[in-house]
Amino acid sequence: MDLEKRAIAGEEQAILELLRRHEDTLYRTAYAYLKNEHDAIEAVQELTYRALKKLHTVKEPAYIATWLVRIIINISLDVKKKQEKFVYNHDVEIPSVDQQPFEIADIIASLSIEQQELIYLKYFQDMKNGDIAQLKQIPEGTVKSRLHTTLKRLRILIGKEGL
């Protein structure tokens, strides 16, 4: 807790050490959303910049890790939105479903952003429902019901794809 308090106080070395401690989790979160090493690294760099500027605004040192994860998720979602704005006008033949089986990542990508986020937090980051509720600032029961609905939707999609 001492490191977190020093980081909030603005001690640059403490901030950098804090970021080093959480680097792996932050990178994996960004990579799970962006599915691209280069974009994930850029997201972590942007997080570093934002953390250096805004870490002093964190009120509770115990929640710094949650704060950092929330920021990396927001950055990743922003990057995804920017990528979706690009229109590719190439004549590329897209293989049919019969030619190439879908992977689970493709099926997860077909879910809404909110549902994708729940899946990534719960199953890729191994977060507990209570931690997800705190991160998203919603009741734990809501997290459970949304996860239930999302998993039900995934089962339907997997059944359609024949996995």
CA torsion through residues 33, 38, 41, 42, sign: negative
Left, alpha or beta for 126 (phi > 0: left; psi -120 to 50: alpha)?
A: left
Each residue of 21-35: pLDDT tens digit? Answer: 999 999 999 998 898
Domains of the chain, each with CATH number or no CATH: 1-86 (1.10.1740.10), 91-163 (1.10.10.10)
Q: Which two tokens stand for residue 83?
A: 């990528």
pLDDT in tens, 67-125: 999 999 999 999 988 887 765 554 444 444 444 445 777 888 888 888 988 888 888 88
Distance set, CA 52 to CA 4, 18, 155 (Å):
13, 11, 42
pTM over 0.85: no
Vertex 94, ends 90 and 97: CA angle to 5°?
Answer: 165
CA geometry: angle 157, 153, 139, nearest 5 deg: 155
Please state the separation of Cα 73 from the chain's center in Å. Answer: 4
Residues 52 and 23: beta-carbon distance below 8 Å = no
